[in-house]
Amino acid sequence: MRVFHVDDPLVDDAEKRIFLAGPTPRPWVEPIVSSWRPEAIRLFEQFGFDGNIFIPESRDLETFNWEYQVDWEDEQMNAADCILFWIPRVLETMPGFTTNVEWGRWENSGKVVLGSPPEAKKMGYIRHYAKKHGVPIADTLKGTVNLAIQMANSI
């Protein structure tokens, strides 16, 4: 398994590609919260995933370039075999407004899985359309990672 952040050189030699979509903590917004993606990576490793994971987080905030970020995300989501949406929405710290737009772009693509904890706020509309489009849904990160691996392995 290889993990690529937005500012890593891309060497994509795997047949399976999963993009980790969902709210990203903003280190310049108080209070600072931790990303959920390191736990997701640990779960992919635990399950023995043998593809590539694409993470829309920068390793170096000093060189952050918003336009490059948006273009990179679009390119990787288009190329992904599966887009994992994990939405642990907390309105005060990780509202996921950009995630809402991304979900709307991909909800009916046939290559998304959706996860959110039961306590996540404002998820009714997204869950409604996930069910309507037959999107696999989980209420734990572990379950969501498992669904993404199943989807990527079925390609």
Could you read off the pLDDT of 25-84 as tens digits, one per residue?
Answer: 876 666 778 899 999 999 999 999 999 999 999 887 667 788 988 999 999 999 999 999
**Which DSSP state fits 90?**
B
Q: What percent of the chain has pLDDT over 90?
A: 75
Q: Average pLDDT, whole number, for the chain?
A: 92
For residues 81 and 111, is the Cβ–Cβ distance under 8 A? Answer: yes
Q: What is the pLDDT at residue 61? A: 66
